A and B are shown apart, each in its own frame.
Chain A
Amino acid sequence: MFFYMQILDIDGLQNEDGSFSGDIWGKVDTRFSYIVICCLSILKCLDKINVKKAVDYIVSCKNLDGGFGCTPGAESHAGQIFCCVGALAITGNLHHVDKDLLGWWLCERQDYESGGLNGRSEKLPDVCYSLWVLSSLIMIDRVHWIEKAKLVKFILDCQDMDNGGISDRPNYAVDIFHTYFGVAGLSLLEYPGAKTIDPAYALPVHVTNRILFTK
């Protein structure tokens, strides 16, 4: 695996401003920053990129509402926030996040009626945000600002009790992604029986601990 990594030329995809392009066609998005940092951290070769510049670029995508977008100036979106906060967490740079400002924006994603979380204001709640918003809140220690029990209920309401699986919202079609996000969300909400996962990697904690604590 490590051998093949050298062929991938990761640092060739890092741009001057610290951002990462998805491929040779140059599309830039903070999602790519997260993917690179997450993967390289697990493979214990973060030194293949310029971490400081990568962090600087992510910080340049920070918005006035405390959130993050896909590129500088882009509107805050829960998915991008997860990517940026996750990348900052993994590289030990959460001090760049205004935790109170972002925490408030994130906890306002919760819908009063259904208990579900949306990804931006005035949008519908969706189970996938149970991971993006929830993980972000956990990483900045503000998850106590949402009503957890209501969110658990929302996720459980999204189950297809006949055929199994979890959908994006109640009574919609299930798919593997939302099933994963729903289960991960339940784990982060300490639902009994769910294995503990790490909020930055969405991997089981015993796996991340084993990888990262081995010198």
Chain B
Amino acid sequence: MHGRPRKASNPEEEAASAAKAVKLRSLQSQFMKNHHDKIYTEEAIELSMKLLEINPEAYTAWNYRKLAVEDSLSRIESDPNLVNSILDEELRVVESALRQNFKSYGAWHHRKWVLSKGHSSIENELKLLDKFQRLDSRNFHAWNYRRFVVELTNRSEQDELHYTDDMINNNFSNYSAWHNRSVLLSSLLAQNADGFMPNERIPDEYDLVHSAIFTDPDDQSGWFYHLWLLDQTLNVETPLLTSSWPSHGSTINLSGAGCLNGSSSKFTTFCSESGSFPLILYFDQAVGGVSSSTVTIDSELKGNEDLVWEPISYKNSQVSCVWVTHLKYVSSDPCEYKVKIRVGNSPGIVSSRGHNFRAPYEFVFTAHVHDTVKDSQEGIVSWTDGFDIWDAKSMDLNSLITLDQLQAEIDFKWRQEAIDSEVECFGILSDSKIGNLTLARLLMAREAMLSDDAVKGVRYEEILQLYNDLMALDSSHYQYYKDEHSVAFLHKVTSSSESLSRHLFRYRGMNNLVCLRLNNLSLSRIASVEKLLFVQMLDLSHNELRSTEGLEAMQLLSCLNLSHNKIRSFSALDSLRHVKQLKVLDVSDNHIGKHSVDTTRYLCSSPLSNSEWSQDDVGRQNPGLVTKYWDAYFVLRDLKLKQLDIAGNEISGNEFSSFVLQVVPKLVWLDGQKLGN
């Protein structure tokens, strides 16, 4: 019940209402009797019409009429006139019901049913639709019905596009028309239909939407359409390889469990107990089909035929931006090996939107395998002591940030021009919240398309200022702007090797392992991970992070500090289940257990989202605790942590600690205490 004013009813009104109800109930019970007894006389059918005129929502009455029609049709010979008159009557009943309530699901569906029998002309239907759309241009029943009629009668997309032209020109505030327009245009652009080339069409659409936006800036329709146009401008259909680890032209140093003294100051050193190192491919959009036939590896490293590639994504997904395989090496066989990777060796890598990875792309790196010297002492990792400034001059900066991007074949010109033109347009709107947000989005888009390093990074200050202004201007979306600010900030930090190097330190406690320190930066969101695939030690403490969404790509990560953030549950750490190297995790002083509502409950693979799970001993012996701490159970049991800090959370305590020790039996340090065997 919507839209009925609240008022106390007087006795007369109540009596009238009661009388109406009696009448309706009597009509309904008569109708139900006819329906149950399958009575389809003229009188009975007339009764159902009376019911529907009072209450078009009487769903069963519509179904009864369908049965009655089928019964009538089965009796008459296929005399077209008789058939027409029966179906015409149904259309009339629908129209009169719609006049009562033009949003009646039952009425519209009944009309579709009649039309599916091949009845009524397209002109009649379009006329009817015109009537209703004039009454309410946002009536989605009418729009859905229109799409149904269009499909049934094969009306062209171009004609329907002209209809949206009319609707929009009549009234800019017509989200339904803009929506329909975007659906039709998408289809026409995808077909490369005549007159629908993106480089010509999209700029025209920008002009059209400007009329809407500048006529009524408070109306949302134009702004959402503009956002879609920006997506069309920015997004290149063909999937591209954004980055990889190891990166092209780099040399990585590999050793066994014990790391070489001193050499870890090179961020390219990787130590592994398992004798394998990850090969990470990061695409600009989710793709499927990465396998040992579509990605070939040419190297003298033995034992690497028929590698298995995994998408780093949710359990049910076969597509991802990030794909990983593991290459074996033997540390007792020290040598330098050249490794050549050919991505797209054969067709098969396809984006989730259905576009193929085009030309094969090759990159080469060198794997320098070292002898394992000795088992190093694995002491506790401290996040406060033992850090030295990383000497930027000692390493070749360029190899830190790789900007591998196949741009040659992409037509960037019209895209850059469109964005430049939009930036100019919106540069003048200073007090409009949505205008400023659109400008910030445009500037971010422009940065993303720049390939010239010298120019990149320059406009980030402007973007950050816009988001700061927006946080003050529009407090109801404060957290949204905060998140966008964090994304822009991280883009800025990773825009050049120089800015990134300011956040790099060496950690003496792990043989001078390079640590990326992004603490105390008010970060509420993680971004730019494609530029940070080399990171093995990461300090994100004292920020405002709510989840580790994005970190799953950091396949080399072994130490992570998330203390003093805003993490509310272990389910928010689900992405870490993909980070198999993770040994040290600090989630102390967060909000775990503080809130009753878990906002990452369904973003964590578990029985709640109908994921298969295998019972283990912990599950069998402690079903109550597994249900109580389900997210900690599922996340921690997938990790092989040596060191964990959980103090300072609402969930902390003896019960939780002892549960953790059962789930992670190989844990060595808990909350700074060494565990006995």
Contacts and interface: CB of A to CB of B under 8 A. Distances in A.
Interface of A: 23, 25-27, 41, 46, 63-65, 69-71, 73-77, 89-95, 103-105, 107-108, 110, 112, 120-123, 126, 138-141, 143-147, 150, 160, 167-168, 171-175, 177-178, 188-190, 196, 198-200, 205, 208-210, 212-213, 215
A172 B183 contact: no
B179 A65 contact: yes
Interface in B595-631: 595-597, 599-603, 605, 607-611, 615, 623, 626-627, 630
Nearest to A71: B144
Nearest to B600: A141
Contact of A173 (B1, B138, B175, B220): B1
A112 B609 contact: no
A167 B596 CA distance: 26
Nearest to B624: A213
Contacts of B595: 190
Contacts of B414: none
* 6 closest cross-chain pairs (CB), A and B: A92-B609, A89-B602, A121-B220, A173-B4, A147-B476, A196-B596
B602 A94 contact: yes
B18 to A, nearest CB: 17
B221 A121 contact: yes
B313 interface: yes
B175 A122 contact: yes
B143 A95 contact: no
B5 interface: yes
A150 B477 CA distance: 12
B627 A210 contact: yes
B208 to A, nearest CB: 16
A145 B479 contact: yes
15 contacts: A25-B63, A73-B180, A92-B315, A92-B609, A110-B476, A121-B220, A141-B599, A141-B600, A147-B476, A147-B477, A147-B478, A160-B6, A167-B6, A172-B2, A213-B623
A172 B477 contact: no
Contacts of A105: 224
Given A94-B603, A122-B220, A138 B179 contact: no
Given A46-B610, A190-B596, A122 B179 contact: no
A178 B2 CA distance: 9
B476 A92 contact: no
B338 interface: no
Interface residues of B, number: 67
A141 B603 contact: yes
Contact of B182 (A64, A120, A208, A210): A64
B601 A198 contact: yes
A25 B109 contact: yes
Given A64-B183, A108-B220, A141-B547, A75 B599 contact: no
Contacts of A138: 597, 599
Interface string B1-36: 111111100000000000000000000000000000
B57 to A, nearest CB: 14
Contacts of B623: 213
Interface string B474-514: 01111110010000000000000000000000000000000
A82 to B, nearest CB: 13
Contact of A145 (B140, B475, B477, B611): B477
Given A160-B6, A175-B1, A213-B626, A74 B63 contact: no
Dominant secondary structure at the A interface: loop
Nearest to A160: B6
B138 A74 contact: no
A90 B599 CA distance: 14
Given A94-B314, A171-B6, A172-B6, A213 B607 contact: yes
A209 B630 CA distance: 9
B479 A92 contact: no
Given A74-B140, A196-B596, A122 B219 contact: yes
Interface in B563-587: 572
A209 B598 CA distance: 13
Contacts of B191: none
B528 to A, nearest CB: 15
B317 interface: yes
Given A91-B610, A143-B599, A77 B314 contact: no
A93 B605 CA distance: 10
A77 B179 CA distance: 12
Nearest to B474: A112
A187 to B, nearest CB: 8
Contact of A95 (B147, B317, B572): B317
B627 A209 contact: yes
Contacts of B224: 65, 105, 121
A73 B148 CA distance: 10
Contacts of B596: 190, 196, 205
Contacts of A208: 608
A168 B113 CA distance: 33
Contacts of A177: 1
B176 interface: yes
Contact of A64 (B5, B113, B228, B601): B228
B140 A77 contact: yes
A167 B601 CA distance: 30
Given A73-B180, A110-B476, 13 more contacts: A27-B105, A64-B231, A65-B182, A89-B602, A92-B602, A95-B313, A103-B480, A120-B175, A144-B599, A147-B475, A147-B478, A167-B6, A213-B607
Given A171-B6, A213-B630, A199 B601 contact: yes
A25 B315 contact: no
Contacts of A171: 5-6
B8 to A, nearest CB: 9
Interface in B141-171: 143-144, 147
B248 interface: no
B546 interface: yes
B642 interface: no
A196 B569 CA distance: 15
B173 interface: yes
Contact of B138 (A71, A112, A122, A141): A122
Contact of B480 (A65, A90, A104, A198): A104
B66 interface: yes
Nearest to B487: A100
A168 B313 CA distance: 40
Contacts of B227: 65, 104
B677 interface: no
B1 A95 contact: no
A188 B597 contact: yes
A70 B140 CA distance: 10
A93 B316 contact: yes
B677 to A, nearest CB: 32
B186 interface: yes
Most chain A CB within 10 A, of B113, B182, B313, B603, is at B603
Contacts of B219: 121-122
B179 A168 contact: no
Contacts of B143: 74-75
Contacts of B105: 27
A126 to B, nearest CB: 7
Given A25-B109, A121-B220, A92 B314 contact: yes
A25 B66 contact: yes
Nearest to A175: B1
Nearest to A104: B480
A42 B479 CA distance: 34
Nearest to B615: A215
A91 B602 CA distance: 9
Nearest to A121: B220
Interface in B203-237: 219-221, 224, 227-228, 231
Contact of B5 (A76, A173, A205): A173
Interface string B98-138: 00000001000100010000000000000000000000001
B144 A74 contact: yes
A58 B175 CA distance: 22
